């Protein structure tokens, strides 16, 4: 019987999960997170789907790794994630352990991705790097001396809630001007809405209901030369560039990797972001730190990373 | 013959050095850094003074640790320190090794202090904490998972050159608004100068030549209830509080320690800084991270820390 680890990545839009053996995702599935107003129902469904696979493929489950926003490595709990439908303190570790009966490791979703990059991605030969997830929200997984930076309270890497614009947009966390309100997929949409509200603005994006606008549509408009879309990417790139200049001074990383919806904009976002970063950064770090798109595919990175955490922390 | 390690801390004002055995500074001395326009002459002088002690006390030198601003652990070099009289790339490691003939470990001065706190101070039982040095400039030594955060290029922890005020005061590094331009001893003096320049300002500090004003004098004026001095401390505390809120989100530390001239203002600075921090910080970190004055005496911490680095990295 082949041993496998299950990786579950709970995201603001989708929950991806799969089975990992020898550093490969051998099977995976996806459920829409917001369709589950009760997290226990989501976990029951995932447990049933995974159990079916284990039985059909004659596999033995060795552990479960979970990546989730605002999840705490030490307590195994998720604390009122601002971008998810569930409120209060949710003990994911216990909830999943009860259902699967194997060791469970809970991690911040960005931390899980960083571990995936460290074990299976372009970070394999690096000891100091950062993974930034630009999704519904923003997270950061930080590798220092070849280890995950978890922090005393298990809540390190909340880069999404560091300041980007003093007295700026109101954030879900109750504060103003957070990086996440500008450089996430949600932030990009807010930028578009602001730019479209300016007198005389014309754009192909005007014909899309703002509630349904996706960052992919903004990306496509920018590729067609749409001025508003290009302006929005430039504004977002400036904010990312300035934040990466700060991160350079704190961590002196070998590289910064990007993952998630917005990261797929690639050169349209990361090339100008790199230029802005070089403009703002302290001379000590100039031309030293590349901004790269993660080499791991989006939905695989998070599953691999959640599973990698089980190997890292249960042996 | 008793084995000792020499610790040398090169600061913007003074260079402290001493001999360490069994975690104690058994002898120490100080030279004024700016009197030495050639760093080699300073190192010759230190070597001669230390050699005399070794001979007199019948001690055997096992290694030398150096803490210096902008010093790079990996290369052993100091790169154009903005607050020192020496320009260009200075290979401290080679320079000191040639003179002493023992293993030499070079570190950023704040990193050295953090190692001192970890080995001999209040950080002994902590795995994740930060030491901020508020001297002529500002540095940070960051301990993650019980290890020093050095960074890929050896230049992590340059918190003094992260942004405090967008488009703010011009910094020695050529950029604007750096934290160091506000929260260092130099920054406090600039704040006083700005406040005194306002129409109608009255203060006991008006009678002191700004070039000779010390942070100790500002501290004493504030204790006497001088309004300008109190305002300057409040302004500095707000900037420190906001920066510590950012640091909380990056590192989730167990505590933040302060060291250096301004840290000695104690409650006058750190108490309001803590209040501002709690006002700005993300809810996840509220009331969790104390701001503390380092328990190690200023000039001993840096010598101990420089020496601790030798134990940490040569075994």
Q: What is the CATH number of domain B125-293?
A: 3.30.420.40
At residue A315, the pLDDT reads: 64
The arithmetic mean of pLDDT across residues B121-127, rounded, is 93
Q: Is the pLDDT of residue B315 over 70?
A: no
Residues of B in contact with A166 (CB under 8 A): 166
> Can you tell me whether residue A29 is helix, strand or coil?
strand
The arithmetic mean of pLDDT across residues B186-200, rounded, is 94
pLDDT in tens, chain A (315 residues): 899 999 999 988 899 999 999 889 999 999 999 999 999 999 999 999 999 999 999 999 999 999 998 888 999 999 877 778 898 899 999 999 999 999 999 998 899 999 999 988 899 999 999 999 998 889 999 999 999 999 999 899 999 999 999 999 999 899 999 999 999 999 999 999 999 999 999 999 999 988 889 989 999 999 999 999 999 999 999 999 999 999 999 999 999 999 988 888 888 999 999 999 999 999 989 999 999 999 887 668 889 999 999 988 876
DSSP H helices in B203-294: 215-223, 227-251, 267-280
Q: What distance, in Å, lies between the first and last C-alpha atoms of chain A?
A: 20
Whether A126-293 and A2-117+298-314 are alike in CATH topology: the answer is yes
Residues of B in contact with A132 (CB under 8 A): none
Q: For residue A178, what is the nearest residue in chain B, using CA coordinates?
A: B282
At residue B117, the pLDDT reads: 92
- Averaged pLDDT of chain A: 93
Q: Are A117 and A296 contacting, i.e. CB atoms less than 8 angstroms apart? A: yes
Tokens of A160: 């999404």
The CATH superfamily label for domain A126-293 reads: ATPase, nucleotide binding domain (3.30.420.40)
Tens digits of residue pLDDT in B7-28 = 999 988 899 999 999 889 999 9
Determine the distance in angstroms separating the CA of A307 from the nearest CA of chain B, rounded to an integer. 21
A→B interface, C-beta within 8 Å? 70, 79, 126-129, 142, 144-145, 147, 149-159, 161-163, 166, 173-175, 242, 246, 249-254, 280, 282-285, 288
The arithmetic mean of pLDDT across residues B217-237, rounded, is 96
Backbone angles phi, psi at A55, to 5 degrees: -65, -50
Helices (H) and strands (E) in chain B, counts: 9, 12
Report the CATH fold assignment for B2-117+298-314. Answer: Nucleotidyltransferase; domain 5 (3.30.420)
Length of chain A: 315
The dihedral of CA A92, A94, A95, A101: what is its sign?
A: positive
Side-chain half-sphere CA neighbours of B267 within 13 A: 1
Give the long-range contacts of residues A221-227, CB within 8 A, separation 24 or more: A222/A265, A222/A268, A223/A268, A227/A202, A227/A203
- Residue A138: in which H helix or E strand, if any? strand A138-144
Tens digits of residue pLDDT in A144-166 = 999 999 999 989 999 999 999 99
Does this model's pTM top 0.95? no
pLDDT tier, B301 (very low <50, low <70, confident <90, very high otherwise): confident
Q: Write down the domain spans for chain B.
A: 2-117+298-314, 125-293
């Amino acid at each position: 019987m082949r041993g496998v680890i299950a990786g579950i990545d709970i995201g603001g839009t989708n929950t991806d999960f799969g089975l990992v053996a020898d550093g490969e995702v051998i099977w995976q599935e996806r459920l829409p997170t917001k369709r589950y107003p009760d997290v226990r129902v989501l976990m029951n469904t995932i447990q049933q789907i995974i159990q079916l696979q284990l039985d059909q493929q004659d596999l033995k489950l060795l552990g479960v790794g979970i990546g989730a926003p605002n999840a705490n490595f030490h307590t195994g709990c998720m604390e009122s994630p601002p971008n998810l439908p569930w409120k209060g303190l949710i003990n994911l570790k216990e909830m999943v352990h009860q259902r699967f009966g194997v060791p469970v490791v809970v991690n911040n979703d960005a931390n899980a991705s960083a571990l995936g990059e460290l074990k299976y991605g372009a970070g394999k030969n690096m000891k100091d790097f950062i993974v930034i997830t630009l999704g519904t929200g923003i997270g950061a997984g930080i590798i220092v001396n070849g280890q995950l930076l978890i922090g005393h309270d298990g809540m390190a890497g909340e880069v999404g809630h560091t300041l980007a614009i003093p007295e700026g947009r109101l954030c879900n966390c109750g504060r103003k001007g957070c990086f996440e309100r500008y450089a996430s997929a949600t932030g990009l949409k807010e930028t578009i809405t602001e730019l479209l509200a300016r007198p005389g603005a014309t754009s192909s994006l005007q014909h899309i209901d703002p509630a349904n606008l996706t960052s992919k549509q903004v990306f496509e408009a920018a590729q067609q030369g749409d001025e508003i879309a290009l302006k929005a990417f430039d504004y977002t790139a400036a904010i990312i560039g300035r934040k990466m200049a700060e991160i350079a001074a704190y961590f002196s990383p070998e590289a910064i990797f990007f993952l998630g919806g917005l990261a797929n904009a690639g050169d349209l976002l990361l090339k100008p972001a790199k230029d802005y970063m070089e403009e703002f950064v302290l001379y000590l770090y100039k031309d030293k730190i590349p901004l790269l798109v993660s080499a791991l595919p989006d939905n695989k990175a998070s599953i691999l990373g959640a599973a990698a955490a089980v190997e890292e922390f249960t042996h």
